[in-house]
Amino acid sequence: MGSIGKDGNSEHSTRFRLQDFADYKQRYQESISDVDFFWAQTTRQFLTYEKDFTSIRQGKLAEGNLQWFANGRLNAAYNCVHRHAEQDPSRIAIIYEGDEPDCGHSISYGELSKQIFQAAAALRNLGVRKGDRVCVYMPMIPEAFVTVLAINHLGAIHSLVFDGFSAQALGDRIRDAGAFLVVTADKSRRGGRDIPMKQTVDEALGSCPDVRTVLVYQHGQDSVSWNPGRDVWWHEVIDNTAPLKDIAPESMASEDPLFILYTSGSTGKPKGLVHSTAGFLTGAAATGHHVFDMHPSDVFFTPSDIGWITGLVYALYAPLLLGCTTVIFEGSPLHPTVSRLWDICDLHSVTHFYAAPTVIRLLRRFSDAEIHQAMTSLRVLGSIGEPIAPDVWDWYHRIVGKEKADLLDTYFQTETGSFVLAPLARITPTKPGSCTLPCLGLDPVILDPITGKEVETACPEGILAFRQPWPSMARTAWNDHQRFMDTYLNVYPGYYFTGDGARQDEDGYFWIKGRVDDVVNVSGHRLSTAEIEAALLECEFTAEVAVVGVGDSLTGEALVAFAVLKSQPPDRDVRKDLKQQVLKSIGSLAVPRTVYLVQDIPKTRSGKITRRILRKILADDVGSIGDISTVANPAAIDSVAATVLGSK
């Protein structure tokens, strides 16, 4: 891969920064009146192409065959790290904070680049080639970043799995992606506790006969079970590998897949969303620059894990693409004290802090007096993943941001790749609870859910959709393009369907109203009620089940399950067994808070569970259920209500 090219990449002199709100409005109009022109300019400003593209966009949104920047060639690891290492090797790329406050360290771009070359050489010796899928199941440690970037370096495809998923869920994802190599650590450490990881991988691999190798980073001291024909230690194969400069970053086509990330939808099985190389990187860099107003001197900190899209894009790709410093944190926000995150902000002069409202709600519960940190370096605060209530917004802005930092409520999805609706730091006047206005080059509309037509009224309300494509949107679901089409592009032909309800106010600001499908959001983690129901049905004694999300002041939403039993097994705590089943099938994050054993579950005549009614019962609001003419078994409403009430 050559040195930094001539197309505007010598520290990106052609990148513009918006001046003010009027500038945004004008540039926005220009950007959507010719999206192809806008994105062609944008990608050239932010990425270094080894070979420039010859076509901006091919294909149509409605046909699900989009290709951006065709015939261009580039490498993600080069763009994230090696090019910065060439220019300014001593600039800090990563600051790692371990679980305990005194066990962190930092890594420069030069050092990170070297580590990526070494890891790429080792992965290649283990058989990894362009296009292979590698599963990464690691704690938030620098080696997880090195692994992802080494996979990029080789042109392979990473599939990250969050360490809160169970062995069974991990196995499902490894098999679906067809990975033959898993990279993991012996353990993770969070909140003063060890979390076994290798052990979970061992269990998962019982159902993954195609996995030949497990590469294990030694993070702790204790011994772990070992399969000598399959397992290899990171320090034996990576640290002993000389930096092989001859393994150049693989030259990738713009549309070559960069990664797969699994996410829950309204049906049972999680989908492996596939993101492209050039398109995805363009979105990450452009939003980091325009929305977060990141500069290379900035220090960005999000406690989000890279197993979720927020951490992957905004802890890893965006800050590194822009040559900033990213702080990664393995531990828990409450350990060893409730002000751990604020200590990190002060210690490292963090300029950007980005977290889900669930973290903010958790920390708000403690006395403001405990927040003695100055946090004067903070310039931008961000919120993501769920609606942020105005009182939480106010606390975050006042106590954490000292009323000086801009607070951005950002909206995006695993599918959109990067922000689509978000205020721009320094620029956009905000309103607590609104994710404000579209990002440059994004063209949102509100659709009528019944007719599928754009709502033309002054303050439209309905389904949030997008009518023009953008480069960072997912291209397909791994091994299942039809499912991708049916979930996102065939619902309202000609539009990308988000699955969220939204309204626009008199200023055109967007207010997200939540999912219109069977997806729930617990502590900012996206879960499918259908997937949890499928897990509960794996219990031999369940006949029928339903899972709904209900409002929760800490976690945003909480899960409640209803189960009809075939028969009551003697001497068994069935509720506990059911929770255990979800723990085993999916992981701790999906375990219902409450399980009700009921006689029947209200359903429509076509057999669909009426979750709306179950939610009303849980809210003690049976009186406002309204029309029940579509319910096939209305008596079930009273019997469920009696069970719920009886348990209070």
Q: Which positions lie near ligand PRX, rule CB under 6 A?
A: 263, 309-310, 384-387, 409-414, 435, 498-500, 512, 515, 521, 526
Q: What are the backbone angles phi and psi of residue 84, rounded to the nearest 5°?
A: -75, -35
Shortest Å distance, C-beta 514 to ligand PRX = 6
Alpha helices of 495-625 — where are they, by DSSP H? 529-537, 574-585, 611-618
- In the complex with ligand PRX, which residue's Cβ is closer, 326 or 413? 413
Shortest Å distance, C-beta 423 to ligand PRX = 11
| CA-based nearest residue to 357, from 309, 391, 317, 326 | 391
Give residue 410's identity as a one-letter amino acid code.
T
- In the complex with ligand PRX, which residue's Cβ is closer, 213 or 418? 418
- In the complex with ligand PRX, which residue's Cβ is closer, 502 or 598? 502
Shortest Å distance, C-beta 148 to ligand PRX = 18
DSSP state of 540: T
Please give the C-alpha separations between residue 62 and each of 101, 256, 490, 496, 549, in angstroms, as whole numbers.
51, 21, 7, 8, 32
Contacts of 583 (CB under 8 A, 6+ apart): 166, 591
Per-residue exposure over 166-191, b if at least 16 CB sit within 10 Å of its own CB, e if not: bbbbbbbbbbbbbbbbbbbbbbbbbe
Shortest Å distance, C-beta 310 to ligand PRX = 5
Tell me the C-alpha distance between 38 and 46, whole Å: 13
Shortest Å distance, C-beta 365 to ligand PRX = 21
Per-residue exposure over 414-445, b if at least 16 CB sit within 10 Å of its own CB, e if not: bbbbbbbbbbbbebbebbbbbbbbbbbbbbbb
Shortest Å distance, C-beta 157 to ligand PRX = 19
- Maximal C-alpha separation, the chain: 75
- In the complex with ligand PRX, which residue's Cβ is closer, 74 or 161? 161
Shortest Å distance, C-beta 184 to ligand PRX = 23
Shortest Å distance, C-beta 349 to ligand PRX = 26
For the beta sheet containing 157-160, the strands, ordered from the edge strand earlier in sequence to the opposite edge, are 231-233, 213-217, 181-185, 133-137, 157-160, 257-263, 271-276, 476-477
Q: Which two tokens stand for residue 610?
A: 């009426």
Shortest Å distance, C-beta 356 to ligand PRX = 8
Tell me the C-alpha distance between 609 and 606, whole Å: 9
- In the complex with ligand PRX, which residue's Cβ is closer, 213 or 310? 310
Shortest Å distance, C-beta 512 to ligand PRX = 4
* Cα-Cα-Cα-Cα dihedral sign, residues 529, 532, 537, 542: negative
- In the complex with ligand PRX, which residue's Cβ is closer, 110 or 462? 462
Q: Would you say 339 and 371 are in contact if contact means Cβ atoms under 8 Å apart?
A: yes
β-bridge partners, 246: none
281: part of which helix (H) or strand (E)?
A: helix 277-290
Contacts of 281 (CB under 8 A, 6+ apart): 46, 47, 74, 76, 79, 258, 317, 321
Tell me the C-alpha distance between 242 and 435, whole Å: 48
Q: Would you say 375 and 345 are in contact if contact means Cβ atoms under 8 Å apart?
A: yes
For 465, how many CA atoms within 13 A lie in the half-sphere containing its CB?
28
Q: Would you say 38 and 26 are in contact if contact means Cβ atoms under 8 Å apart?
A: no
Tell me the C-alpha distance between 263 and 394, whole Å: 31
Contacts of 438 (CB under 8 A, 6+ apart): 28, 32, 420, 421, 444, 510
Q: Which two tokens stand for residue 515?
A: 């999912």
Shortest Å distance, C-beta 479 to ligand PRX = 20
DSSP code per residue over 426-448: TTSPP-TT--BSBPTT--EEEE-
Shortest Å distance, C-beta 525 to ligand PRX = 7
Shortest Å distance, C-beta 511 to ligand PRX = 9
Q: Would you say 56 and 69 are in contact if contact means Cβ atoms under 8 Å apart?
A: yes
Shortest Å distance, C-beta 422 to ligand PRX = 8
- In the complex with ligand PRX, which residue's Cβ is closer, 217 or 301? 301
Shortest Å distance, C-beta 385 to ligand PRX = 4
Question: How far does Cα 36 stand from its chain's mean position?
Answer: 26
- In the complex with ligand PRX, which residue's Cβ is closer, 113 or 487? 487
- In the complex with ligand PRX, which residue's Cβ is closer, 247 or 291? 291
DSSP state of 405: S
Q: What are the backbone angles phi and psi of residue 388, rounded to the nearest 5°?
A: -110, 120
Shortest Å distance, C-beta 210 to ligand PRX = 28
Q: What are the backbone angles phi and psi of residue 237, rounded to the nearest 5°?
A: -100, -25
- In the complex with ligand PRX, which residue's Cβ is closer, 503 or 515? 515
